[in-house]
Every structure is written in C-alpha cells, then in structure tokens.
Amino acid sequence: MGAYSIGVDLGGTNLRVAAIDSDGRVLDRFSGSADYSAGPESVVSAIAQVIHQVRSRVSLSGLRGVGIGVPGFIDIDAGVVVEAANLPGFQDFPVRDEIQKLLGTPIILENDANAAALGEMWMGAGKDVRDLILITLGTGIGGGIVVDGKVLHGFLGMAGEIGHMTVFPDGNPCGCGNHGCLEKHASATAIAAMGRMMHFGNDVTAKKVYELALEGNERAKSIYESVGRALGIGLANLINLFNFPLYILSGGPLPAWQLFAPTMFEEVRRRSFTFGRNGTRIERAVLGADAGLFGAAYLPFQQRIYRETSASVG
Amino acid sequence: MGAYSIGVDLGGTNLRVAAIDSDGRVLDRFSGSADYSAGPESVVSAIAQVIHQVRSRVSLSGLRGVGIGVPGFIDIDAGVVVEAANLPGFQDFPVRDEIQKLLGTPIILENDANAAALGEMWMGAGKDVRDLILITLGTGIGGGIVVDGKVLHGFLGMAGEIGHMTVFPDGNPCGCGNHGCLEKHASATAIAAMGRMMHFGNDVTAKKVYELALEGNERAKSIYESVGRALGIGLANLINLFNFPLYILSGGPLPAWQLFAPTMFEEVRRRSFTFGRNGTRIERAVLGADAGLFGAAYLPFQQRIYRETSASVG
C-alpha cells in the first residue's frame, strides 16, 4: 500500500469523501449528507468520523493528509472559513484545526471551485498543462485560476471571482452591487431567468429551456446564444489577460454546449487577437462533480512536493 | 564596487541605458536615439557599444547581466522579438543572441510594459508587495502582471493585454478586431479622439483636452469622466480576478488623475465587492519613464536569485 490522500467535498447538503493514491486511483469512497442545523462542531465531528472510517479501510500508515473543498472564502493560512453563505455557522470557525485535532493528520482547506480547477489539472481536461482557468456554471458562476500548477489565491483568498466580471456594463443587476456580471448572463440561474422573461412559465428551469431549444424553439435557442455571447466576452478577457493554453467550462448547463458554443467562439475570436494565434483551447471539463474531490485529494500531495523542495533548499 | 546590472529601454526612437546596483542606485546613465532605418544589426551593434561604454565607466568585473525592455511580444526562451510594430526589422530577429555575442554577458529580453511593472515593484509604488498589475496609458494601453515577484507571461508571452479587455461590448472599434477595448476608451489616443468628437478641433491632443478640463470646460471634463468609467470597469475586472493588493496606473494622462479618478473609483466600488473589503490600493506610478529601465536592470538580479535557489535544490 503506497501513499494516498483523502479528499473531502463539503457541499451545501452533501458530504463526499474519497481516498485517492498519488496516481489518481480512487481507493475508497463515501457519499452522505451533512446536517448543518446541528452546528459546525457536529458537522466537523461527522467529517472526522467518515475520514477515520475511510482511513481504517484503506491504510492507517499511508495517509499523506486530507484536503477539504469548501464552498466559500477561505483564509488559507489560518485554516478558517471567512465566509460561506451555504454553510450556516461556519463563518470564522476554525475548521482545519478542529478536524486536525480530532484526526492528528495534516488538513488543508481550499475553496471548492479552486479545488475543482486543481482536480481538472491533475486528472481531468488539463493533465497536459500547468496553467488553466476553470469556469463553473451553476446557480452562480465560480472559477479557479491555476498558475504554474498552483491556485492563484490573491491576498485574501478572493481571486478567481470570474462570475463577477462585468460583461455588459448596463446589464442585469447582481446581488454583489454590480450590473452585468457574467453570472447574471450565463449561469443556470440566468438561463432560467431569461426563460421566465421569454414567458416559458414562472417555474421554468435551465434544463427545461435546454429541452425547448433542442426541440427547435427559437426563443429558447436565442437564450443559449445570449449565454454564449456573455461567456465569449468573459473568456476573451481571460485569454487577453492570462494567455493560458487552456480554459475549461463545467457545471449543469454543459450538455447545452452545442447550443452556446458557436456564439461563444465567435465572440472569443472577435475579441481576443491572441486566441487564434497559439492554439488556445476552450474545452469541457471531464471529471464532472468529482473534480473538487480530486483537487482536494491533490492538495496534500502538492504541499508535500513543496515541503520536499524547500527542505532540500534549506 | 559591488554587483550591478545594466537596464536598456528600447523605445520606438529612444535608446536609454542605465547601470543600477542591487540596491537600486543608478551608477551611470546614457540617453540617445536609435536609427531603425539602418536595420536591426546596426541598432544591435549601437546598443552593444553603449553597454560597453557604460560598463567601462562603472566596472568591468561587477556586471551581473543586461536586461532589455522591448516594445513588442517577446519569445522569452528564444530571446527573439516575435512582433514589434514600432521596431521595424526586428520581427524574428535574434536580439538576445546577437547582443550576447558582441558583449559576452548574459542578456535577458522582456516586454517593456512587463519591465515597467517589475521596476515599479522593485523601486517604485510597489516596493512593499510581490503581486501587482501596472496599467500604462499611452498611445495604446499596455500593462504588466506580476505574480509572486515574477512577470506573468502566459504560454506565448502574450499575457497582460489589459488594453484589449472589453469594457463596452458595443464600444469603439479597435484595430485588433474587437469593439470596446479599454484602450479605445481610456488611452491618450482615445482622449484625443473624444476631443475631436466634442469639436475641439482636428488636431486636439489629450493634453489640450486636459487643459480645457482644468479651465472648467464641461465637455472636456465629461471626457475624463468617461475615461474614469472605462478604467473603473477594467480595474474592477482585474480586482475580481486577481485579488492583488496593488494596481498602478502610469503614462501621459496621469496628471489628469483628479479628473478621472472619482468616476474610476465609483465604478470600481460598484463593480468589485472585494475592492473595499481588504484595502486594495489603486495608485499612481512613481518612477515615470524610468520604470522600464529599473525593471530591465532588475531582470539579471532576479534570474540570479532563481539560479542560486535552483542550484541549492539540485
């Protein structure tokens, strides 16, 4: 039994855990739910228990560490969740130290979208690159920026807010205070909102708009063209700023790729003169919901590499 | 006499050279012009001659290397200018190797805006940070992104094209093929173009618009408000993506700061919820035209640090 790590994906309701070895093989998995109403101490204790079980099943000695993907802003150095709208009670709670205390194993926290970006680099669409940007289309739009194999955090862990890039300065109002944020024009929520404006009914979902578009409904198709336009403006900005080889899209609206991709690429070609010159790729994520789990599991391996490097420097 | 390096700032018509020690003290300076009509070989030979003279005056033994800032896309690894509209004959010319051959000293090429960003970090407005973005307002808008003390190059050296970020999707047409590029709404050229639209005359300059605004001319003031709006949208995007502590503006229109900054900050506050939360700074550059010279001179010191680090790893 060689070295392995444990990745944890802490969702708003789900708790998913996997033991993964350094070659990316999944050795064990757990999938359950987390009861946030019981308070953070109780959730943390449940996480520790699951990790303990997985570890007992796989190997007690080979565990390199535990990575946890959390949907919120993380103070990486302090190991604290600074803000997490979907994790009631977790704000300013010392998640890392509490779990570390219970398990005696190094714990690394990371924002879930950043973890997903790392996961796609390690075992997904970005296996051949060290620089990529992941854009996750969901209720909102999140993302992760990986520079030279490492997550770009910024000085308070708030980098990668791709969903709040302005794509239409006078566009739809956003809860953040801005108008025309990318996520107000290209998220699943935005697709449903446009569906309501197109009189598809008050309970219309992005999936329903997708089905209508597949059936040839012109208004539904125009919604996805509009999504492609917004994504294209955002992607062209990213390409002009970063000149990375790879940009990955993930999330619920991905099956509608053929509906939004043509206008998306049209916008990107028009708005980024670097795009066509060097084989820049815009692709679909391949790990789906597992990306965050893989990325979380990669964190302890990555930190270990750093430690070995800095150890031999000193 | 301790270690020093030589920085070269190769402009469209100017050639500026400085010998700078590792504490940022300027030991010697040269300022002249370059005659591009004579071909790249002749320009390169003139550069080598100036460097040789400076070196003779300062110290033959202490020179660590030469950094050269070039207004164009650089293939860093190859040491070749891939594209430089303002340096006729330099495309695909092996600048680095040719000068290296003449001098027998390590030469490092860098894009001039990237060099200026490094210079501001080393000895200018960013002395206290390792992550910053410089935006240079001139004929166009250029920029340099510094991550953890190093220039972000992207995979073909084309990162940092801040001037071609889309700020108004249906805005002014740009030579790059896009509409609404930042540089079409906030460069000195854009200010002059808006001045012509406001009927200030066909030969109006950005400086003239500035003087009119200072005199209280409402149309001239509205031009600078519009510049502030475009800069604010662009800066908010950068802040949301990078979460860096510092963004620096430089270039000719900088004296008009008080005319464009209020609307710029208004836009940034509205469009970036991270801006106000962590003391993000947007400031004026302090090194002026010397930023590129300092940054170019910093390159050999920076590479030396890397070499020493990697040497002790291996």
CB B39 within 8 A of CB B95: no
Closest CA to B29 of B45, B43, B41, B15: B15
Cα A234 from Cα B173, distance rounded (Å): 18
Q: Do A158 and B272 touch (CB under 8 A)?
A: no
pLDDT band, very low/low/confident/very high, at B1 (cuts 50, 70, 90): low
Instruction: Give A-chain residues touching B154 at CB under 8 angstroms.
Output: 131, 242-244
Q: Do A241 and B241 touch (CB under 8 A)?
A: yes
B241 inside 8 A of chain A by CB:
yes
> In chain A, count of helices (H) and strands (E)?
9, 12
CA A169 centroid distance within chain: 25
Q: Do B153 and A243 touch (CB under 8 A)?
A: yes
Closest CA to B154 of B65, B92, B77: B77
Q: Do A240 and B165 touch (CB under 8 A)?
A: yes
Residue of A nearest to B273 (CA): A176
A240 inside 8 A of chain B by CB:
yes
Residue of B nearest to A234 (CA): B166
Rg (CA), chain A: 20
Instruction: Give B-chain residues touching A278 at CB under 8 angstroms.
Output: 155-156, 158
Of B147, B168, B271, the CB nearest to A178: B271
CB A149 within 8 A of CB A130: yes
Between chain A and chain B, the number of residue pairs with CB atoms below 8 A apart is 129
**Residues 6 or more apart in contact with residue A202 via CB below 8 angstroms:** A196
pLDDT band, very low/low/confident/very high, at B77 (cuts 50, 70, 90): confident
Closest CA to B165 of B197, B150, B143: B143
In this predicted model, what pLDDT tens digit does every residue of B7-16 receive, in sequence order?
999 987 889 9
DSSP, res A175: T
Taking the CA of residue B123 and the nearest CA in chain A, the distance in Å comes to 21
DSSP, res B26: E
A158 inside 8 A of chain B by CB:
yes
Please tell me the predicted confidence (pLDDT) of residue B304: 63
Closest CA to B20 of B9, B12, B29: B29
In this predicted model, what pLDDT tens digit does every residue of A150-173 receive, in sequence order?
999 998 889 999 999 999 999 999
Of B165, B272, B309, the CB nearest to A241: B165
Q: Do A243 and B165 touch (CB under 8 A)?
A: no
CB B8 within 8 A of CB B69: yes
Q: Is B150 helix (H, G, I), strand (E, B) or coil?
A: strand
Please state the pTM of the whole predicted model: 0.94
How does DSSP assign A12-33, residue by residue?
A: SSEEEEEEEETTS-EEEEEEEE
Residue of A nearest to B133 (CA): A241
A171 inside 8 A of chain B by CB:
no
In this predicted model, what pLDDT tens digit does every residue of B266-297 receive, in sequence order?
999 999 999 988 799 999 999 999 999 999 99
In this predicted model, what pLDDT tens digit does every residue of A132-153 receive, in sequence order?
999 999 999 999 999 999 999 9
In this predicted model, what pLDDT tens digit does every residue of A176-221 receive, in sequence order?
999 999 999 999 999 999 999 999 999 999 999 999 999 999 999 9
Q: Is B10 helix (H, G, I), strand (E, B) or coil?
A: strand
Residue A111's H or E segment, with its range, is strand A107-111
Give the alpha-carbon dihedral of B85, B156, B110, B144, to 10 degrees: 90
Of A157, A165, A272, the CB nearest to B237: A165
